[in-house]
Structure 1
């Protein structure tokens, strides 16, 4: 109930009637002497006491469930992974068929988020996050983010024509910040949480300010800015994982310009008390292997203790 917030969904998952679910909840509330849920029709939400109780006992209940499944010989393991939407769409989802082929017993359910996820069993079993704020969790590094300018193949040809770079060495000669600013700059607000924050950081990394003459087009999300670049609308700042898998990556040209580090590091995170759960460790090792193979992370042993 605490995870699904629905009598009907809880009854389906437990294979019992809704009245039986309601009866069990009332018995637990009577035993504890606290109201655990607020009821509104078919929907239920946790009270403050209920949320505190679930956070305390949730991991133990999940461990009992996993141990019981192993003793019963049930191989299938359902794992909920909370992940940033851009990372999921551009990097993770295209790789899922390989995970299913290697580990058919893993039933991976993705919970996409546009912000850094709240680390809680109520949200997911494991996470891809850029923060290490909870001491109750373990963290495995996946990627240190950097941004670099890209545009479409067709737009690159236009840039070369307008800058007189139509010779064979055009790609090898670095573009100056002033040359970049001659073309529309496609900006993602969510990276630095302010308008043009990504381009401001890029120009600062080369000891410049954004030229006042620069034309900036604003987008809330990197997926939108990259799509605008794909349709020849200007130059966008993107990162490695956005271009590391999809077949349309060949549609883009990385401009001969420096990259800027955002200061964000992506981690795979899981509750330390659940470190022995086989499904979580399978996902952990597979993600790290894929990050290494795709060039996001340097190769190193992943069998030791995570940070």
Structure 2
């Protein structure tokens, strides 16, 4: 080990796992050029070519493949050792979630978790940045996507469905799905889907919404919808609480699947703690109950008007 620098081995492992110099540089906090130099030095020290450079990125050579597999395992063990050394209180559970999920779903329910598990103290890391679950103190993440992410364990929580939401005042003028086209739309520009997903399910494929406001944050777009500024296409965990409280209405009762879903994401190398298992069970119970409550709310425009 005295003949091969540890920083070089870190650069080799990160580049091999992530498949590019840029991604490795971002993880290690250095420049792509520095990663490239470290790899070159390590290859010279080992007397082996570990990567072939191609237009699509780095390709691991036959000589490099067994080394990379063992390096990944070794660095994961080192990372786990550091995490355990830093963790002063085993009763603290660190959960990484997107800020919009934290603000619009999780915070309303945290008292329920505290009542069920007073022995566990939660630390919520609200960020869209993907955590390195092998090397950080994050015990569990909840993310939206297609699942199957490499290097982690993902478990389906809730398939994402979308539907329009608007203020009760705007909903009062809606009778049939085509009436939605008369309303201005507020748009979350970072959404992973478009209005067409729902319009197609409603038999309005190809129709266009008139956009009033665009936001770079889903939570702000939802606030605009609550304020009566237009109609938004939203999903269960974003708008469910506001619909149940009556500050938003989901007309027509038509939902459309986006092909994405909410997933629990944990390290594939670390065993799940009792706290992680308890939190997952609680979240799943809360999601199932919330979906039952949401489904029980009748869509105003699906109820025939009362006789005079």
Same fold by TM-score greater than 0.5? yes
Q: For 2:108 and 2:114, how far apart are their aligned partners in 1?
A: 12
**Structure 1 pair 286/248, CA: closer, same or farther in 2 (3 Å)?**
closer
Q: Which residue of 2 aligns with 1:41?
A: none
- RMSD of aligned C-alpha atoms? 3.5
Cα distance in 1, alignment partners of residues 207 and 133 from structure 2: 37
Provide the residue aligned with 1:208 in structure 2. 205
Match runs of 1:144-293 below 5 Å: 144-157=159-172, 159=173, 173=175, 175-177=176-178, 179-192=179-192, 198-205=194-201, 206-211=203-208, 214-245=210-241, 249-256=245-252, 258-293=254-289
Alignment: residue pair count: 234
Deviation, 1:258, is 2.3
In 1, are the aligned partners of 2:177 and 2:252 still within 8 Å (CA)?
no
Q: CA deviation at 1:118?
A: 5.4
| Contact map agreement 1:117 1:129 (CA 8 A) in 2 | no
TM-score calculated relative to the size of structure 1? 0.64
TM-score, normalised on structure 2? 0.64
Q: 1:126 aligns with which of 140, 144, 151?
A: 140
Who is 1:167 aligned against? none
SS at match of 2:154: strand
Q: Report 1 or 2 for greater relative contact order, CA contacts < 8 Å, sequence distance ≥ 6.
A: 1
- Which structure 2 segments of 5+ residues have no match? 11-27, 39-70, 294-308
Q: How far off is 1:204 after superposition?
A: 3.5
SS at match of 2:277: helix
Contact 2:243 2:249 in 1 (8 A): no
- The one-character-per-residue Cα deviations of 1:84-142 (angstroms, maximum 9, x if unpaired) are 11111111111111111221221211111236655543262211023434454322321
CA distance in 2, matches of 1:155, 1:210: 20
Given that 1:149 and 1:257 are in contact with CA atoms closer than 8 Å, whether structure 2 keeps it comes out as no
How big is each residue's C-alpha offset from its partner over 1:263-285, in whole Å with a ceiling of 9 and x where there is no partner? 11111111233334222212122
What is residue 21 of structure 1 aligned with on the other side?
none
Gaps of 5+ in 1: 1-28, 38-44, 161-172, 298-307
Render the CA deviation track for 1:203-248: whole Å, top value 9, x for unaligned.
233352133x734432222211111111111111111112333587
Structure 1 63/288 Cα, relative in aligned 2: closer, same or farther at 3 Å? farther
Q: Secondary structure at the match of 1:114?
A: coil
Partner of 2:6: 34
Correspondence 1:41-190 to 2 at 5 A: 55-62=76-83, 76-114=90-128, 119-122=133-136, 124-131=138-145, 132-157=147-172, 159=173, 173=175, 175-177=176-178, 179-190=179-190
